[in-house]
Structure 1
Amino acid sequence: MGREGVEGGWSHEASQSDLQGEYVAQQVGGKRLEAFSRRLARPVTHGEAGLPVPPGHSPATADTVEGLVDLGRHDMDPSRRNVLGAGLFSVALTIPGWPDVIGRAEAVQSGRASRIGMNEVDMVVAMTERVSELDDQFGGRHARPMAASFMVNTVAACLRADAPEGVRKSMLSAASHLLYLTGYMAVDEGLHGLAQRYYVKALELAGAAEDRLTYCTTLRGMSVQAVDLGHSTKALELAAADAAPKAGPRTRAFLAGQQAHAAAQTGDRVGALRHIREAEGAMERAESRGRTFGSYDPAALNYHISQLRYGLVDVPGSIEAMQEADKVRYRIYRRTRVRHRGTLAERQLGIGHLEAACATWHLALDDYPMVQSGRADDRIRAMFGLLRPHLRNRTARDLHERGRVVAPSVSGG
């Protein structure tokens, strides 16, 4: 008994000493970090400064706010971007659930603290919308480093700043939207491991903002990535997350359309048709309201109908729906136009309509030179491969020759 008491006393003294040492190290590290940040006039993370993350910081703090800065800084640096993008898509990625992320992130105080208001939130929202417009028009190859730079040099400082609770949550939500968009642009470039990292950060910030709708929207983006890579079961799992009760009809259609696509790819005909009916009904209710930028629109719905029909082996039906999507698509969505016209042409050729396919590919080539997109490159590269057996046909040969002039980098010589 006495021996246990003595050993307990020694343990207590040792633990008190350790805690005092950790506290001193934390204070010194914090001052060094502040000095680095002020001298460089930009945020500096513990990892970048070669300092250990203080024990008092929650995992969410280190992983979300500092991780956001490290991730963004690598992505905006051309010398590091290849290494950062080397990771592959992982079906086994741990995706934090809503209870795991809600309210967890904290601001890491480093450098001079400032106070922000809704003007700063509005600025982040407006900049995110502008980057999204550039992505839609020109692809993500150039827009993503711009988004990463804005994230590191402006948004990170806003996340660290003092703010009223309502403003703090609005800023976290705005930052989550930016991360979601940046992840989407990484998908566009084929950097799937990087995209997953951005998406997970977006989930964490949405949870910190207690923004269930943005959390579900991000899961939907992850489902799109998974279904496009052929991971049907994972895509359906991600798409099945229920939206927040306040989700409007357009958002409900946005989520249900992706559920229909994922279900069709798994062969679940009943589920796919149920979800697409829900999406169609929600869109009917939404169309009577004003359209906001970047929202789910009739072209997107018809794209999902096309994907559902294709997944259920109705190729002519999928072509019809894809043509309707192309007809009603807004002109700003140039990158989407190139990609989906490429897909449409592939399906037309698949049922033996060579001349129709060539006409569609010509339309894709009209926009292609103005788009910097890995997924658009993939569709034009596929065109060259599919045309090769048909080069004795004059129409196919003319298209092939035009393609070599318009897209020499993906023509294969």
Structure 2
Amino acid sequence: MGTGEPNTGLARLFRETGWTLRQCAQAVNRIGTERGTPQQYRAPSVHQWLSGGVPRENARFLILEAFARRLGRPITASEAGFPVPDPEHGTEAGPVSTVDGIIDLGRLDMDPSRRSVLGVALFSVALTVSDWPDVVGRMEAAQMGVRSRLGMSDVHTVTAMTEQLSSMDDQFGGRTARPLAASFLVNTVAPFLKASGREDVRRAMMSAASDLCYLTGYMAVDEGLHGLAQRYYLKALELAGASEDHLTFCTTLRGMSVQAVDLRQGPVAMRLADAAAASSPQAGPRMRAFLAGQQAHAAAQTGNRRSALMYLQEAEVAMDKAEARGKVFGSYAPASLSYHTSQVRYEMGDVHGAVAAMEESDRLRYGIYRRTRVKERAILAERQLATGHLEAACKTWWLALDDYPLVNSGRIDQRVTDMFRLLAPHLKNHDAQALYQRARDIVRPELIPA
């Protein structure tokens, strides 16, 4: 299908990228593979698009995402000269409501048969995130559901359940806890959000639901379902704005920045980290350390050494002030700051410094954070190996494997896969061979090399 006329919009974007036809096709194919739908486009396909040929609908999204990643900004269908798609949800009466969107999302997440659908949801750098003033108080009016009245006891139920789910995530990983969170969202929280009640109670419920959506998104990241995580994060932002919950709004933006930086999308991570900081002008010292630490990591990944060190120093000063006021269990702590210090040093090429900071983070971390302990010990081992300390790396990996059977996490499974690959050239070493064999005995069968 084509228009018979060259696609001037796409041609303009193509010139801006500096790509060759072949490079453009490769970029689109990479995103297709990442999404779980491999493509085999070649230079003639791109030439056809530029000449006015309209790609298939399922390919247009991949093309727009490829251009957005290259140019560092959202690219719309109309800007690329493609037909504007119908809205994904909603009718002529308007888009789907926030609550109905949560129900749709949660039901999809609850259904094991939809696992393949969740897996192809793609992390998008082109995601549009509204500023705080644009979301404050904006949410559809309550629609009467099964419950006739909402009380603060209902809010306390959601808050307590979220705390329990968070604790499960910390100890057992996102794969274990997220299905429970999705079910709770659909079966309990959504009806609460549709119930009537005093305005202050409704706002408190929206705030509690926002926190749960953020946590569920965070757990989706842990499983490697990045597109799904973004959808949960967006719902968290909508609810946080509706309830005027600055804390969850900033925390969610920061979580989105963490997701982006872990996916090596530095400019996106920086934009989101800065947005989180800008949305919290009255932050206390611990919150400021929480935000500045992430700004430091994102800045380091973009190669902005000066800003990275400035933000890291700001985080250190803020943490000193926060600790002087008293330790707060469960919030951003010195172990978290040491982790960010390690990440900044690693991004700037100081692997030895990164190892020292990660060792400090491991020493300071509270024992209940089992999933984090396993993940970051695996990272530490990789960096110890990179500095030539094979025996130290094997010892650290061994400690990580102590906790591994209790944690069900996609991120940790990926680290285990990396461990096998990194150990393979060193199997003549006794420590490496013993570790490799122990890992083969306890890790999930699908992770073991053939």
TM-score, structure 1 length as denominator?
A: 0.84
Q: Deviations over 1:76-104 (max 9, x none)?
A: 11112331332111111122222332211
2:364 matched residue in structure 1? 328
The 5-angstrom pairing of residues 9-408 of structure 1 reads: 53=91, 55=93, 59=95, 62-241=96-275, 242-408=278-444
Q: CA deviation at 1:113?
A: 4.2
User: Hey, what does 2:449 align to over in structure 1?
Assistant: 412
Structure 1 or 2, whichever has the larger Rg, is 1
The corresponding residue for 1:44 is: none
Off by >6 Å, runs of 4+ in structure 1? none
- 1:196 partner amino acid: Q
CA distance in 2, matches of 1:88, 1:80: 15
How far the C-alpha of 1:246 sits from its partner, in A, is 3.8
C-alpha change, 1:52 and 1:86, in structure 2 (3 Å) is: closer
User: Structure 1: how far apart are the matches of 2:210 and 2:197?
Assistant: 17
Contact persistence 1:334–1:367 (CA under 8 A) = yes
**Kept after mapping to 2: 8 A contact 1:65/1:105:** no
Report the Cα distance in structure 2 between the residues aligned to 1:141 and 1:84, rounded to whole angstroms. Answer: 13
- Normalised to the residue count of structure 2, the TM-score between the two structures is 0.77
Q: 1:149 to 1:219 in 2, by over 3 A?
A: same
Change (3 A) 1:108 1:54: farther
| Gaps in structure 2 of 5+ consecutive residues | 1-88
Instruction: For 2:197 and 2:92, locate their aligned partners in 1 and report how far apart those are by CA, in whole Å.
Output: 23
Q: In the aligned structure 2, how far is the partner of 1:408 from the partner of 1:150?
A: 28
The answer on whether the counterparts of 2:381 and 2:392 sit within 8 Å (CA) in structure 1 is: yes
In structure 1, C-alpha distance between the alignment counterparts of 2:219 and 2:401, rounded to whole Å: 21
Taking only the aligned residue pairs, the percentage that are identical comes to: 64
d(CA) in 1 for partners of 2:399, 2:126: 39
Preserved contact between residue 132 and residue 279 of structure 2 (Cα < 8 Å): no
| SS of aligned partner of 1:404 | helix
Q: CA deviation at 1:107?
A: 4.4
Q: CA RMSD in A?
A: 1.6
- 1:127-175 per-residue CA deviation (whole Å, 9 max, x = no partner) reads 1011000000000102001001111111111111112111111111111
When residues 210 and 124 of structure 1 are mapped into structure 2, their CA distance, relative to the original with a 3 A threshold, is same
